[in-house]
């Protein structure tokens, strides 16, 4: 079945790359100058609104959140956001791979979060949720006019097997649904015909490196003549995880680099843990291959280790740090851009496949996978 060939990301958020930022957080918080006149200005304005405003109905904490969001909205960073405590738990669960999903994608449309996609066979579809439904609250937390797909996704996610209540509005009628989150698979493998091994990865999170290693080793025990690495619909993730996983395919050399502020640069080289040494490798990509997945595709192609097949990747060439700032609150912002091993910046243009093939959703055949197999079988 095609559904078994194509991985479906049950809830794709923004494809955020997570760069471990403990040092950033510590340095930033430690150097905060509370005596700064600009900080004093903000504190005075905050206190005046709390004490004197006739129109204000926000709590002191809600005003602080609004002030931070105001700053973030003015720095020109589309990935910058404040992650409140309710959502930050989901963020950490997602990053550590302990995440359950229900199978929907929603985005902010005119100040309301609207369900855009309900994925087949997921809890959301089985419960009766539909595209076009407006999400009003998640586990009794009302979604504000600034709620986006990332925040919504983090609130929906949780431990596999746990329940989530979603209140929606449809045709003017408010309905509530309760669903059980299902576990999300990050790595899947199987042997295809003609002794070709297949491995897919949907995120570069904290558990992806170890899972990829275990699954690759098991796949290699079956003596494949080539490996197809499927990175379609991959939401990206941690750059250190990307470094470790790409090192399973490339023996030595520079994989990618990160350019930070004030002229700082970090280079990511192979880790020396190569597993797939002599076998041909083909990487599948599409417009839903994000960030860290794009670094992997570029590294495979530019080092000559393998080839890429599919369509242009998404084109997210920047790196975010997610920094704890106070009692479960996190601040996310872009801190760097990543460059491929050859120095290319693929932001907003995507990594081009060496063989461009589109999959036809109206057929049962996965045309991209089929083309990859044809090329491998035709190779000497």
* Least confident piece of the model among 32-36, 99-103, 211-215, 304-308: 32-36
- Encode pLDDT of 9-67 as tens digits: 322 333 344 433 333 333 334 344 456 899 999 999 999 999 999 999 999 999 999 99
Specify which residues 14 forms β-bridges with: none
Domains of the chain with bracketed CATH = 23-82 (no CATH), 84-183 (2.30.42.10), 185-378 (3.90.226.10)
Quote the crossing angle between the two packed helices 239-246 and 292-302, to the nearest 10°.
Answer: 30
Q: Which two structure tokens, joined as six digits, stand for 82?
A: 């404040």
**Which pLDDT value is given to residue 330?**
92
pLDDT at position 33: 46
Nearest to 6 by CA among 310, 292, 356, 248: 310
Share of the chain above pLDDT 90, in %: 66
Nearest to 196 by CA among 39, 20, 375, 330: 375
- pLDDT tens readout for residues 138-184: 999 999 887 877 778 878 988 889 999 999 999 999 999 999 998 87
**What is the structure's pLDDT at 28?**
36
**pLDDT tens for each residue of 348-363:** 999 999 999 999 978 8
Q: How large is the average pLDDT for residues 110-133?
A: 89
Q: What is the pLDDT averaged over residues 6-11? A: 30
What is the reported pLDDT for 209?
92
> What pLDDT score was predicted for residue 17?
40
pLDDT tens per residue across span 280-305: 999 999 998 999 999 999 999 999 99
Indicate the pLDDT class of residue 207, thresholds 50, 70 and 90: confident
141: three-class secondary structure by DSSP: strand
Mean pLDDT on 89-118: 81
- For 356, phi then psi, to 5°, come to -90, 120
Of 90-99, 162-171, 265-274, minimum mean pLDDT range: 90-99
- The per-residue DSSP string of 260-305 comes to EGGG-EEEEE--S-----SS-EEEEE-TT--THHHHHHHHHHHTTS
Contact (CB, 8 A) for 216 and 199: yes
**Which has more confidence, 379 or 334?**
334
Over the stretch 300-345, which tens digit does the pLDDT of each residue have?
999 999 999 999 999 999 999 989 998 889 999 999 999 999 999 9
Beta strand pairing status for 173-180 and 182-183? unpaired
Kindly state the average pLDDT of the residues 227-246: 94
pTM of the model: 0.79
pLDDT surpasses 70 at 234: yes
Q: Which of 3-7, 148-152, 226-230 comes out lowest in average pLDDT?
A: 3-7
pLDDT at residue 21 in the model: 35
- The pLDDT-based confidence of 254 (bands split at 50, 70, 90) is very high
């Amino acid at each position: 079945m095609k559904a078994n060939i194509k991985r479906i990301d049950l809830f794709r958020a923004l494809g955020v790359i997570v760069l471990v930022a403990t040092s950033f957080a510590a340095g930033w918080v430690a150097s905060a100058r509370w005596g700064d006149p600009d900080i004093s200005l903000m504190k005075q304005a905050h206190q005046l609104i709390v004490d004197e405003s006739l129109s204000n109905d926000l709590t002191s904490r809600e005003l602080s959140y609004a002030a931070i969001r105001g700053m973030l909205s003015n720095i020109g960073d589309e990935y910058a956001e404040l992650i409140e405590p309710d959502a930050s738990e989901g963020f950490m669960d997602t990053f550590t791979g302990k995440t359950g999903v229900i199978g929907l994608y929603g985005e902010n449309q005119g100040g309301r979060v609207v369900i855009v996609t309900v994925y087949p066979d997921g809890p959301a579809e089985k419960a009766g949720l539909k595209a076009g439904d407006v999400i009003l609250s998640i586990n009794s937390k009302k979604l504000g006019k600034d709620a986006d797909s990332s925040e919504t996704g983090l609130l929906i996610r949780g431990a596999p097997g746990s329940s989530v209540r979603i209140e929606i509005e449809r045709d003017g009628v408010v309905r509530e649904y309760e669903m059980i989150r299902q576990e999300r698979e990050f790595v899947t493998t199987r042997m295809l015909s003609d002794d070709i091994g297949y491995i897919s990865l949907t995120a570069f999170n904290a558990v992806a490196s170890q899972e990829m290693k275990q699954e690759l080793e098991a796949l290699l025990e079956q003596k494949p003549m080539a490996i197809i690495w499927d990175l379609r619909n991959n939401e990206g993730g941690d750059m250190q995880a990307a470094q470790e996983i790409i090192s399973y395919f490339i023996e030595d050399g520079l994989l990618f680099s990160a350019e930070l502020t004030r002229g700082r640069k970090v280079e990511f080289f192979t880790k020396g843990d190569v597993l797939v040494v002599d076998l041909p490798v083909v990487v599948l990509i599409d417009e839903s291959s994000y960030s860290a997945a794009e670094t992997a595709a570029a590294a495979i192609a530019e080092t000559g280790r393998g080839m890429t097949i599919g369509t242009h990747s998404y084109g997210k060439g920047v790196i975010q740090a997610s920094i704890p700032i106070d009692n479960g609150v996190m601040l996310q912002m872009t801190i760097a851009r990543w460059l491929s091993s050859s120095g290319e910046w693929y932001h907003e243009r995507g990594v081009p496949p060496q063989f461009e093939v589109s999959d036809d959703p109206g057929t049962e055949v996965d045309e991209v996978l089929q083309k990859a197999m044809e090329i491998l079988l035709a190779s000497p």
